[in-house]
Amino acid sequence: MATAIPVEIEGLNHWFEEAGSSKQVLRDIHLQVKAGEIVILTGPSGSGKTTLLTMVGGLRAAQDGSLRLFGEELRGASKQQLTQLRRQVGFIFQAHNLMPYLSALQNVRLGLEVAPSWLKQGRRAMDARCRERLSQVGLGHRVDFMPAKLSGGQKQRVAIARALASNPQLLLADEPTAALDKESGRDVVALFRELADSRGAAIVMVTHDNKVLDIADRIVHLEGGALA
């Protein structure tokens, strides 16, 4: 049996309500992202990149067209179906969304505590994986630090480690290198490439960082809500 394509989008349209009228933000999007492929979304601010990313992750409901994750339609999916699908997805947001009262390691562990397979392995195995991922993003010496004691770039690296901890089958990243210096940014996208090549993960990344474009298998440009 053939493995389902991680992301399949056909004829996707989306509108926002703005000042009492509808504004179309996505126009007839057709896009596939296959296993092991890194696709970078580029385009000017307001072109619909982040909206598209959140819809692919099931965080915003599709209004018109088809949007499938691993062969399952998101439009009209139940909350339970969406929860099951999101467990296969890693998210990296521009706002790192760390829990301020948890240490770096505990924040990363949150990414494993929603995965039944990791819960079966127990706390010790989860903590070992969290330390490994934090070391890979250069924070092996900061595992017990609280977010208030970390710089903006370090917080972003904790968020990246959290997203990568469970080896997601789909990784969605919104400006993941924006808060990082050049070397850290290169290290992070190298981890993305390793996840795609060794684990067959599909990766969709929004970025304005020209220094990491070469990591992509494909670069997709959005202009005015449409694929240019």
DSSP one-letter code for 179 = T
Cβ atoms of 149 and 87 within 8 Å: the answer is: no
Mean pLDDT of the chain: 91
Tokens encoding 47 = 């072109």
Tokens encoding 113 = 């505590």
Tell me whether strands 38-42 and 218-223 are parallel, antiparallel or unpaired.
parallel
Cβ atoms of 133 and 161 within 8 Å: the answer is: yes
Asked if the model's pLDDT at residue 2 lies above 80, the reply is: no
Of 113-117, 159-163, 170-174, 212-216, the least confident: 113-117
CATH topology of domain 35-62+78-227: Rossmann fold (3.40.50)
Residue 7 to residue 217: CA distance in whole angstroms = 15
pLDDT band at 9 (very low <50, low <70, confident <90, very high): very high
Of 36, 39, 42, the C-alpha closest to 9 is 39
Please give the residue that has the higher pLDDT: either 85 or 35. Answer: 35
Write down the domain spans for the chain.
35-62+78-227
Q: What is the pLDDT of residue 170?
A: 95
Q: What is the pLDDT of residue 95?
A: 79
Tokens encoding 34 = 């296959």
Q: Which long-range contacts (CB under 8 A, 24 or more apart) does 68-72 make?
A: 68/4, 68/5, 68/7, 68/8, 68/9, 69/6, 69/7, 69/170, 70/4, 70/5, 70/6, 70/169, 70/170, 71/4, 71/5, 71/8, 72/4
**In which order are the strands placed within the sheet that holds 72-73?**
21-33, 7-18, 64-69, 72-73
| Mean pLDDT for the stretch of residues 101-120 | 90
